[in-house]
Amino acid sequence: MPRDLLEDLGLKRDPRFVEVATDTPAGVREIGGRRVIVSENPASGRAIGAVTLDDAAALERETVGAVESFKLWREVPAPERGQVVRAIGEEFRRFKEPLGELVSLEMGKIRAEGLGEVQETVDIADFAVGLSRQLPGQVFPSERRGHRLMEQWLPLGPVGVITAFNFPNAVWGWNAMLAAVCGDSVVWKPSLLTPLISLATHRIAERVAEAMGHKGIFRLVIGTDDEVGERLISDRRYPLISATGSCRMGQRVGQVVAGRLGRSLLELGGNNAVIVHADADLNLAVPSIVFGSVGTAGQRCTTTRRLIAHESVVDGLVDRLVAAYGQVLNRIGDPLKEGTLVGPLIDDRAVKAFDRAVRTAREQGGKVLIGGGVMGDRGGHFVQPTIVRVPANNRLDIASEETFAPILYVFACKSIDEAISLQNSVDQGLSSAIFTESIRVSERFLSPSGSGSDCGIANVNAGTSGAEIGGAFGGEKDTGGGRESGSDSWKAYMRRQTCTVNFAGRFELAQGIRFE
């Protein structure tokens, strides 16, 4: 560790933090009579620290507190709520460097990406501050004389937020900053793979809100799925559960929440494709594909997992990608070290999933062009970014599965229609991209009839990764259909109320009904 990030962020003074020896195995452990989750540095496999686990009783306390906090918070004018969020954003700006470095240390993404993740939380706070002075309703013409018909948006209630390990700060920010200006309290259940950044993130928001007289808006429950997660999603006191993670997890959350007629906002997996048309600018396409496929070691839900290139350019494109990957392979290592381009996978299970996928690809007829190996001599959870050429018949079943690792499957196609069909053939529908100089081809991809990309995100001459906070983020099909972050995603955190005001001083019914 280049410096004591835990001390810089005040984690060592938090009663939930537990010091552990660096050779302590990661996972749930009993230490000093406390049940804790031990966090490790995936670049070294060494323990960083531990956090006390919450149980069902702790969740109940936080839920009761969130309900009471909501009753007070919703009475605060929205612009004043925005000022609290503004102050939180400023504090994240102040702690951007140590927070971003802790993301790199605990999650494994390179330092630039760690800092960029914290910047996302700062940006969504800025967005939410402006939103706090809008939250618009509409006024409609009434068919009755002397009547006004309008709608207003009201605070929803305590929101349960479940996040994944790969964006342990930003995804909380997307949800919490919007929910807060909408008048909701937030109870956060983070991934057990990144408890330290979650605790540090929560401490900042909690401290700022409490100093401004609004204690308990933000709450944190670090617990197992069995003891905390299942109770959280089944609790009727949470009108909304926002869950980010795997498709399997989202299916469970969606079913349970729907069973109690609650709302769920699901942002799940992606098996994202880049289409490269015959006329594409390869100087633009190549770096976009490389970052999309190897950035965050392939552990983004927007990672480029499939490349669908026109048969006239696929060979030359692959040659350039293999050359670029050759440079990347020499810059795998400590994510906090200057010059590193690719860090580790999150844990040993992820390494095994990578290895299994590469072996399966070979068995199914795929040809590994570069990479494919597990770098077991590094001490952490490192693998080689990998390119697999799909057989000429475009059949490779493993390519239809989302492996959370840096594996890129390359398909060849004859036409834009074939390319779009291949892209849309998987279960997920998160992010998509096309590289072309033709307006006709790009418009076919973005077809307003819906016959083009079936994903929630569709980019032209830009890769699948790197979304900005101004646009709503999420996807279709098994990706869950939810939308987080910008645009009008704030509506998920509020309830709509249609209002009629009769100022005519006489009784009148709609549809011409007379009742006299």
pLDDT tens digits, one per residue of 4-41 = 999 999 999 999 999 999 999 999 999 989 999 999 99
pLDDT for the residue 516: 84
pLDDT for the residue 1: 46
Catalytic residues: 267, 301
pLDDT for the residue 3: 66
Alpha helices (runs of H) in 271-379, residue ranges in sequence order:
282-294, 314-329, 348-363
Which of 307, 326, 71 has its CA nearest to residue 183?
71
Q: Which residue carries 């050779």 as its tokens?
A: 23
Which of 406, 487, 486, 464 has its CA nearest to residue 270?
464
Pairing assessment for the beta strands 240-244 and 304-310 based on DSSP bridges: unpaired
- Give the separation between CA 485 and CA 127, rounded to whole angstroms: 9
Amino acid at 506: R
Q: Are 420 and 453 contacting, i.e. CB atoms less than 8 angstroms apart?
A: yes
Amino acid at 165: F
DSSP class of residue 377 equals G
- Give the separation between CA 238 and CA 156, rounded to whole angstroms: 9
Which of 172, 219, 227, 226 has its CA nearest to residue 194?
172
Q: Are 206 and 14 contacting, i.e. CB atoms less than 8 angstroms apart?
A: no
The Cβ-side half-sphere exposure at 477, using a 13 Å CA radius, reads 17
- DSSP string covering 104-167, please? HHHH---HHHHHHHHHHHHHHHHHHHHHTTT----EE--SSTTEEEEEEEEE---EEEE--SSS
Q: How far is CA 500 from CA 146, 149, 494, in A?
A: 11, 5, 19
First-to-last CA distance in the chain?
81
Q: Output the furthest CA–CA distance in the chain (Å, rounded).
A: 88
- Give the separation between CA 35 and CA 40, rounded to whole angstroms: 16
Task: For the chain, list the domains and their CATH numbers.
Answer: 55-136+155-268+480-493 (3.40.605.10), 272-474 (3.40.309.10)
φ, ψ for residue 272, nearest 5 deg: -85, 145
Alpha helices (runs of H) in 146-246, residue ranges in sequence order:
170-181, 195-211, 230-234
- Give the separation between CA 80 and CA 209, rounded to whole angstroms: 12
Element (H, E) at 17: strand 17-18
- Give the separation between CA 452 and CA 462, rounded to whole angstroms: 17
Predicted confidence pLDDT, tens digits, the chain (516 residues): 446 999 999 999 999 999 999 999 999 999 989 999 999 999 999 999 999 999 999 999 999 999 999 999 999 999 999 999 999 999 999 999 999 999 999 999 999 999 999 999 999 999 999 999 999 999 999 999 999 999 999 999 999 999 999 999 999 999 999 999 999 999 999 999 999 999 999 999 999 999 999 999 999 999 999 999 999 999 999 999 999 999 999 999 999 999 999 999 999 999 999 999 999 999 999 999 999 999 999 999 999 999 999 999 999 999 999 999 999 999 999 999 999 999 999 999 999 999 999 999 999 999 999 999 999 888 899 999 999 999 999 999 999 999 999 999 999 999 999 999 999 999 999 999 999 999 999 999 999 999 999 999 999 999 999 889 999 999 999 999 999 999 999 999 999 999 999 999 999 999 999 998
Sign of CA dihedral 427, 431, 437, 438: positive
Q: Which residue carries 């490790």 as its tokens?
A: 40
φ, ψ for residue 2, nearest 5 deg: -60, -30
- Give the separation between CA 21 and CA 50, rounded to whole angstroms: 10
Which of 62, 46, 35, 26 has its CA nearest to residue 224?
35
What does the angle CA 17 – CA 123 – CA 303 come to, to the nearest 5 degrees?
80
Two structure tokens written together for 460 = 């032209």
Q: Which residue carries 């399997």 as its tokens?
A: 248
Residue count (the chain)? 516
Q: What is the mean pLDDT of the chain?
A: 97
Two structure tokens written together for 292 = 């999309």
DSSP class of residue 383 equals B
- Give the separation between CA 105 and CA 9, rounded to whole angstroms: 13
What is the Rg, in whole angstroms, of the alpha carbon atoms belonging to the chain?
24
Amino acid at 368: V
- Give the separation between CA 200 and CA 164, rounded to whole angstroms: 16
Q: How far is CA 46 from CA 26, 349, 375, 446, 456, in A?
A: 8, 16, 17, 47, 38
